[in-house]
Amino acid sequence: MKQVFLFIAFLLTSIYAVGQINADSMRLQYNQKTIRLGNRISMNGIVLEKTTVQNLMLLSPEATGYYKQYLKSRNVGNTLPLIGTAAVIGGILIAQKNRAPGNIIILSGNTINLVASLFRKKAANHLQDAVWTYNRDVLYPKR
């Protein structure tokens, strides 16, 4: 009876130790290999450059797709405000002489700026999906 009790105690201790080793290994892998989003993209406490992020995304085909969508949406979201701001300024200048067309151009410029903000939000969502997918594929690689 004593031997059975010792065997069960040894077995439970072994299972706990193996589980702890796996948890520590996963925690270490999480801290070193995953990408974090904040004001900037970082990995293991180091801020990553654009080219580094692009190269890392190539490790996961699904993350690459999301990252490409992010780049497209970001480019549109960063270009449209320039056009919208130019339209607003032009509309203000035109409105001094001819009120109705100037107001229409101002309204159009503000609408363009609104659409740009939607593209920036969409880009942020794509980036978040890309990082999440990359982290998933790094922590749980497909076999």
In angstroms, the CA 42 to CA 135 distance is 12
pTM assigned to the model = 0.78
Element housing 85 (H / E): helix 61-95
Helix (H, G, I), strand (E, B) or coil at 3: helix
Helix (H, G, I), strand (E, B) or coil at 96: coil
CA of 58: how far to CAs of 67, 78, 133, in Å? 9, 24, 11
- Write the DSSP symbol of residue 140: S
Judged against a pLDDT cut of 90, whether residue 11 lies above it is answered with no
pLDDT: is 64 or 16 the higher one?
A: 64
The domains of the chain are located at 49-139
Contact 41, 131 (CB under 8 A): yes
Long-range contacts of 35-41 (CB under 8 A, 24+ apart): 35/131, 35/134, 35/135, 36/131, 37/127, 37/128, 37/131, 41/131
Confidence band for 30, pLDDT divided at 50, 70 and 90? confident
pLDDT digits (tens, 9 = 90+) for 74-103: 999 999 999 999 999 999 999 999 999 999
CA of 93: how far to CAs of 29, 83, 113, 139, in Å? 58, 15, 18, 56
